[in-house]
Amino acid sequence: MADKTIPYKIYLEESELPKQWYNVRADMKNKPAPLLDPKTGKPITAEALSEVFCEELVKQELDDTTPYFDIPQPILDFYKMYRPAPLVRAYCLEEKLQTPAKIYYKFEGNNTSGSHKLNSAIAQAYYAKEQGLKGVTTETGAGQWGTALSMACAYLGLDCQVYMVKCSYEQKPFRREVMRTYGASVTPSPSELTAIGRQILKEHPGTTGSLGCAISEAVEAATTQEGYRYVLGSVLTQVLLHQTVIGLETKTAMDKYGIKPDIIIGCAGGGSNLGGLISPFMGEKLRGEADYRFIAVEPASCPSLTRGKYVYDYCDTGRVCPLAKMYTLGSGFIPSSTHSGGLRYHGMSSVLSQLYDDGLMEARSVEQTSVFAAAQEFARVEGILPAPESSHAIRVAIDEALKCKETGEEKTILFGLTGTGYFDMFAYQKFNDGLMGDYIPTDEEIARGLANLPQV
């Protein structure tokens, strides 16, 4: 078995924290396609985007050539409250699996919001504050993003209005209360508060909502109130950029100990944690300096990379946001009410979509019950109770480690453990009671979602 010369937990010194975010687009030969203005069908201008988003974030969104962006000092100071995040060697899991593989995970659950989302929440709230805004609006799926944003807004004294996907609002009352404790107002989506919410309710009575619906409502709320902008917890390239602190810290820690991962795995909802984790490694691959295998893991119930199409689509159900070229199931696709709220999004980051289309990254879809089986196995040996979203990555990491057991290969596997699952105990209860099922959309359902793609 492993000789354990590598520590169980690799921490960095505060002075080793990244001081810049890395923009992987700068090293991509095939750049992600530009966002299109839904009104004109042409590449969107900074001016048009600034009606919805903060100016500094618009600059980051549109810049595909600058490789590094300085992290402003106040954001670095906030990061120091909960970063560096540990890189953990999963010795106990390796032993349990009796695999020759070496397994590492980067744990992002060490903050009250319980996930990596805080890395971008503080950045976005900071730029809103710098612009002199009163507040921000947003959507949240399972509640992690809303929780993270409400923490960041409380810290900076900004108003925070959250539209929460209705099924999560009902399934996860505790997340809702954490947000309210931090001072955010939380509305179940679709709601009667916005015109688009009322329209969606009329067309789909009794719907449990989706991220796409909630985005439309939050955008409408931002653009109809003076001094407000909209912020988003995933999908956009600015979010992926902020999340590169995950990958940069990981790379520094691994380099310190001379560790080189063979396979890097992450769960993919809108793609921000995965994009953030793999960016520095992908940069090396794009520049021809090193080679890695990257695997995106998505739920079989919402398989945008593995069963979607690579086309321009709306980012939201209400079709008010810019169009992005991405792997998508169609903006009208409403995934079944699974327990991984953070992965119920119809599209995928345009950066990851392009990398996947270029064959630089693989994708796999996994079923819910197998994900919870992996979560349980992991919790029992590694101690951490993982978020259902994160457990998608655990599933594939275990599968890859078991392959190594068969072949005898000593591969080094790295995966992103994006958060904790304390607020997902109804889901664990269902699994523990043997009542959890799997839902895989039929080909007809996928075709229906793709039938109404915009013509561009």
Q: How far apart (Å, rounded) are the C-alpha atoms in residues 95 and 90? A: 9
Q: What is the DSSP letter of 45?
A: P
- The set of long-range contacts for 440-446, using a CB threshold of 8 Å and a minimum separation of 24, is 440/300, 440/301, 440/367, 441/301, 441/303, 441/307, 441/335, 441/336, 445/333, 446/307, 446/308, 446/329, 446/333
Which residue from 210, 234, 368, 391 is in contact with ligand PLP, where contact means CB under 6 A? Answer: 234
Both structure tokens of 246: 């995950």
336-395: contacts with ligand PLP (CB under 6 A): 342-343, 387, 389-390
Which residue from 270, 280, 318, 335 is in contact with ligand PLP, where contact means CB under 6 A? Answer: 270
Q: Does 135 bind ligand PLP (CB under 6 A)?
A: no
Q: Residue 73 Cβ, how far from ligand PLP at the closest point, in Å?
A: 26
Which residue from 267, 321, 394, 414 is in contact with ligand PLP, where contact means CB under 6 A? Answer: 267
Secondary element (H or E) of residue 254: helix 244-256
Q: Does 60 bind ligand PLP (CB under 6 A)?
A: no
Beta strands in 396-438 (DSSP E): 412-417
Q: How far apart (Å, rounded) are the C-alpha atoms in residues 388 and 241? A: 24
Q: Does 335 bind ligand PLP (CB under 6 A)?
A: no
Q: Does 117 bind ligand PLP (CB under 6 A)?
A: yes
Stretch touching ligand PLP by CB under 6 A, among 77-85, 167-175, 271-279, 427-435: 271-279
Q: Residue 404 or residue 427: which is nearer to ligand PLP going by CB?
A: 427
Q: Residue 354 or residue 418: which is nearer to ligand PLP going by CB?
A: 418
Q: Are residues 322 and 49 in contact, defined by beta-carbon separation less than 8 angstroms?
A: yes
Beta strands in 109-233 (DSSP E): 135-140, 159-165, 185-189, 228-230
Secondary element (H or E) of residue 276: helix 272-286
Q: Does 268 bind ligand PLP (CB under 6 A)?
A: yes
Q: Residue 428 Cβ, how far from ligand PLP at the closest point, in Å?
A: 14
Q: How far apart (Å, rounded) are the C-alpha atoms in residues 340 and 66? A: 34
Q: Does 115 bind ligand PLP (CB under 6 A)?
A: yes
Binding mask 203-232 for ligand PLP (x = CB under 6 A): ------------------------------
Q: Does 419 bind ligand PLP (CB under 6 A)?
A: yes
Q: Residue 143 Cβ, how far from ligand PLP at the closest point, in Å?
A: 8
Which residues of the shown chain bind ligand PLP in the complex (CB under 6 A)?
115, 117, 144-145, 234, 267-274, 342-343, 387, 389-390, 418-419
